Amino acid sequence: MRSQKFGASIRKLVDKAIAAKRTSYECPKCFKVKVKRKSNGVWECRSCGAVLSGGAYSLRTEAGEISARVTKEYAKSE
């Protein structure tokens, strides 16, 4: 989305999100850089077919990392 309607700073954020959404990520299952965005928050490995949940525009997000860490801590204390 490129529009002159918005300012430079917001356009930079959009460009960054679009770039993050288009890149391939490393698959946690087969370790190949083949994970592509399928739809909002859904990522699919083009090599082994694994479907992963992730951020809307990138596979790993800051909030996701925190959530994973908290879940791990809870699993340990059980």
47 binds Zn ion (CB under 5 A): yes
22 binds Zn ion (CB under 5 A): no
Query: Among all chains, which residue has been given the structure tokens 């990522």?
Result: 43
Are 19 and 12 within 8 A, CB to CB?
no
CB of 1 to Zn ion, least distance (A): 30
Which range touches Zn ion (CB under 5 A), out of 2-10, 27-35, 59-67, 70-78?
27-35
Tokens of 70: 């908290």
Which range touches Zn ion (CB under 5 A), out of 3-11, 13-21, 50-58, 64-72?
50-58
Are 34 and 46 within 8 A, CB to CB?
yes
Helix (H, G, I), strand (E, B) or coil at 66: helix
Tokens of 61: 């997000």
Beta carbon nearer to Zn ion, 10 or 51: 51
Query: Among all chains, which residue has been given the structure tokens 């930079």?
Result: 12
| Binding residues vs Zn ion (CB under 5 A) | 27, 29-30, 45, 47-48, 50
